[in-house]
Amino acid sequence: MEVGGVEIRLRSGEVSSIPQDAKEYYVRSFEYIERHFVDCIKNDKEPITSGSDNLRSLGIVFSAYRSSDIKRTVYLGEGTDDS
């Protein structure tokens, strides 16, 4: 089992983590979202995530990559300077 997880560090210093089987979680996430979108198309429903939700998610991903690159915590909405 590939073990991975998510760690969230709040400005208050509180840290929360969720361990998980990273490979299995990744594979299942595609199945769930694809089933949801097919259901929305077939039943003329709105998806649970909007385009703006997805852009925010992409911003979170970019912040995670940046944090890894510069080897420090990056807070959402933080500017791009490395100070």
What's the confidence (pLDDT) of residue 19?
80
SS (H, E, C) 16-41: EEEEEEHHHHHHHHHHHHHHHHHHHH
> Would you say residue 26 has pLDDT above 80?
no
- The number of CA neighbours under 13 Å toward the Cβ of 66 is 17
Domain ranges of the chain: 1-48, 49-83
pLDDT (mean) for 47-76: 89
In this prediction, residues 45-61 reach a mean pLDDT of 89
| Three-state SS at 68 | helix
Contact assessment for residue 8 and residue 17, using Cβ atoms and an 8 Å cutoff: yes
Instruction: Enter the DSSP assignment of 43.
Output: T
Which candidate, 43, 52, 51, 3, places its Cα nearest to that of 23?
A: 3
Is a pLDDT exceeding 80 seen at residue 82? no
Average per-residue pLDDT for the chain = 84
What average pLDDT does this structure show over 63-80? 84
